[in-house]
Amino acid sequence: MKFFIQFIRNLLGYTIIIVDFLTRGQKLKRSPEQQLEVNEQLKSLSLYQFSACPFCTKTRRAMHKLNLPIEKRNASIGSSYRMELLEGGGKLKVPCLRIEENNKVSWLYESSDIITYLEKRFER
């Protein structure tokens, strides 16, 4: 039964990924100078995620729309990022945005909270 549920979850997750890819809109356009500045700021961010997670897909979709090529770290079983997420953020929950500012690290969970943070910080 556990295998069946996992199969259905993965099937739905990959279906969501395909639909997302096929229906993605345009990226936010910035001048090359502005995008370079944004890319520099993005070096302090990383997204811990699972590829087939619907909430991670929602977050990646917003990142695409905002033209934010944030480093993605797969936190699946067996990944070194899984332990990093648990030790740093305190729980194995994705998506999680790792934010490093002023030599301090904070961990932001919940797709809607991550998207709101990114919109406020990077949208025009």
Which residue, chain included where needed, has tokens 């977050």? Answer: 59
Write the CATH number for 97.
3.40.30.10
The span from the CA of 51 to the CA of 86, in Å, is 18
Q: Which of 8-22, 28-42, 79-93, 105-119 has the lowest mean pLDDT?
A: 8-22
100 part of a folded domain: yes
Give residue-wise pLDDT tens across range 40-87.
Answer: 999 999 999 998 888 999 999 999 999 999 999 999 988 999 999 999
Q: Determine contact, residues 47/97, Cβ cutoff 8 Å.
A: yes
CB 111 within 8 A of CB 56: yes
Examine residue 33 and state whether it is found in any structural domain, yes or no.
no
Q: Is the pLDDT of residue 39 over 70?
A: yes
For residue 29, tell me if it sits in a domain.
no
Q: Is residue 99 part of a domain?
A: yes
- Asked whether residue 37 is assigned to any structural domain, the reply reads no
List the domain range (segments joined by +) for residue 18.
Answer: 2-23+42-122
How many domains does the structure of the chain reveal?
1
Do the domain assignments include residue 107? yes
**Residues in CB range of 17: below 8 A, 6 or more apart:** 51, 52, 57
Residue 118, domain member (yes or no): yes
**28 falls within a domain:** no
